């Protein structure tokens, strides 16, 4: 399996071992576009891997902060109570760059920027940039993807 993320179309393709599209999902990448630099709030480009999978077995809409469940379950009421919170829900696929000097090490390190593929509230629009660097997905789609991939799966993010 391999993941291809297409920024212009706001889609994530899961490819099988022969390179054919096995699943396609709508996503939401960074509202500020693409970029490698720490603090840019942009989605990094290039070759990555899934370094870690976080949240197996947690309920859908589990709220994560710093990759740990908070004990909260997202609801519209919780969202209204904390309107400025960047919601990381359900599962996390933590990405690590594979290209030293481009998306790995130093001020461009994807993993140290805490770039994830993660779930988001149902009210978040997919197919349109809106995150602060991560790749957002519908929770049901993320649960499916999470169960189909392993740590070490290749992830290519392109324009």
- For the chain, domains (ranges, CATH) are 2-158 (2.40.440.10)
Whether 89 has a pLDDT exceeding 80, the answer reads yes
Whether 50 has a pLDDT exceeding 90, the answer reads yes
As given in the structure block, the two tokens for residue 14 are: 């899961």
Whether 30 has a pLDDT exceeding 90, the answer reads yes
Average pLDDT over residues 31-37: 97
Q: Are 158 and 6 in contact (CB under 8 A)?
A: yes
What is the helix (H) or strand (E) element at residue 47, kind and residue range?
strand 46-54
pLDDT value of residue 11 = 98
pLDDT value of residue 78 = 97
Whether 134 has a pLDDT exceeding 90, the answer reads yes
Whether 19 has a pLDDT exceeding 80, the answer reads yes
Mean of the per-residue pLDDT values for the chain?
Answer: 97
pLDDT value of residue 141 = 98
Q: How far apart are CA 147 and CA 93, in angstroms?
A: 11
What stretches of the chain show up as alpha helix (H) in DSSP? Answer: 76-81, 139-148
**CA neighbor of 97 nearest in space, from 148, 63, 146, 133:** 133
pLDDT value of residue 159 = 75
Average pLDDT over residues 58-67: 98
**Residue 17: DSSP 8-state:** T
């Amino acid at each position: 399996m391999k993941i291809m993320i297409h920024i212009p179309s706001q889609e994530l393709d899961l490819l099988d071992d022969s390179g054919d599209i096995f699943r396609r999902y709508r996503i939401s990448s960074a509202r500020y576009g693409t970029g490698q630099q720490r603090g840019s709030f942009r989605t990094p480009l290039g070759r990555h891997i899934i370094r870690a999978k976080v949240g197996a077995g947690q309920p859908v809409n589990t709220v994560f902060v710093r990759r740990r469940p908070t004990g909260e379950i997202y609801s519209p009421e919780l969202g209204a109570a904390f309107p400025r919170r960047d919601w990381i829900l359900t599962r996390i696929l933590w990405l690590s760059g594979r290209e030293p000097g481009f998306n790995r090490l130093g001020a461009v390190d994807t993993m140290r920027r805490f770039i994830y593929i993660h779930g988001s509230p149902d009210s978040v629009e997919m197919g349109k940039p809106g995150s602060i660097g991560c790749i957002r997905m519908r929770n049901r789609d993320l649960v499916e993807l999470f169960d189909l991939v392993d740590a070490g799966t290749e992830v290519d993010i392109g324009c």
